[in-house]
Copies of this chain bind each other. A is one copy, B any other.
């Protein structure tokens, strides 16, 4: 097992069917998705998914979403009593659903009042000044930042010239997102004292070192797990051998490698 934490797909209060297909499309050096937070809802999640994921023996980070401050508070309160949940990540930035009317800081504050678990705020890169958002969620009680979520992108079909995803635009991830994500991590690391989980286009040990140098204390994997489900072990090996000694990073930082994915399959495949 090469993961220090396992981040779940976002859970909402009620079950959601998500967006119509097609939901994924590849672009030149990235991909778009418009899953739309398909999930079984917090009750079924806690009853069925959590026990299964717990079997992995990896600390569990649960990603929480919703459509109002009340939603966030609701799910956090429900998770507060789940011993297997180590961290709650607040998805404040899904580009594939209409968000809550409250600001990110208000959502964090509502979650803060509902749980004593560590809260990581996941922010969008689609903002003129991400450091400002970071300061706001820090002031509202976030214990850490997850940077970044996908940014809205569109791809068209080369014959019909229609959007390839049924929903039109989707969330852009993968290598093309990496410079944007690094800039966000860099800006936030200078703005707040919170630990940062960096993500966006990580494919190699080299990329991990870039995120750590930009100010992240851990790194999460997303898109790369599709092309290489064993990326976590490979990247750890790349860090261990060649790249790491050159930088003399502490063991602690290496242990910050977080496997980020959408279901337990990624991990059980290892």
Stretch of A14-22, A207-215, A223-231 that contacts chain B: A207-215
Number of this chain's copies in the assembly equals 2
Q: What separation, in Å, do the CA atoms of A152 and B148 have in the docked complex?
A: 13
Near B by CB (< 8 A), chain A positions 129-187 give 151-156, 158-159, 161-163, 168-169, 172, 175-176, 178-180, 182-187
- Given known A28-B175, A126-B128, A127-B128, contact A180–B161 (CB-CB < 8 A): no
Write the nearest CB–CB distance from A112 to chain B, whole angstroms. Answer: 22
Which residues of chain B are within 8 angstroms of A247 by Cβ–Cβ distance? 161
Which of B27, B125, B175, B209 is within 8 Å of A161, CB to CB?
B209
Q: A29 touches which one: B28, B159, B184 (CB < 8 A)?
A: B28
A149 to chain B, nearest CB (A): 11
A155 near B176: Cβ-Cβ < 8 Å: no
B155-A179 in contact (CB<8A): yes
The answer to whether the Cβ of A102 comes within 8 Å of any Cβ in the partner chain is: no
The winner among A128, A159, A176, A209 for most chain B CB atoms within 10 A is A176
Pair A30/B156 contact, Cβ less than 8 Å: no
A206 within 8 A of B: yes
Q: Tell me, yes or no, whether A91 is within 8 Å of chain B by CB.
A: no
- A127-B127, A127-B128 given; A161·B213 CB < 8 A: yes
B176 touches A210 (CB 8 A): no
Question: Which residues does chain B contribute within 8 Å of A213, judged by CB atoms?
Answer: 156, 161-162
Q: Which residues of A approach B to under 8 Å, CB–CB?
A: 27-30, 32, 124-128, 151-156, 158-159, 161-163, 168-169, 172, 175-176, 178-180, 182-187, 206, 209-210, 213-214, 246-247
Apart from A152-B183, A155-B179, A169-B183, list 4 A-B contacts with CB within 8 A: A28-B176, A32-B179, A161-B210, A172-B183
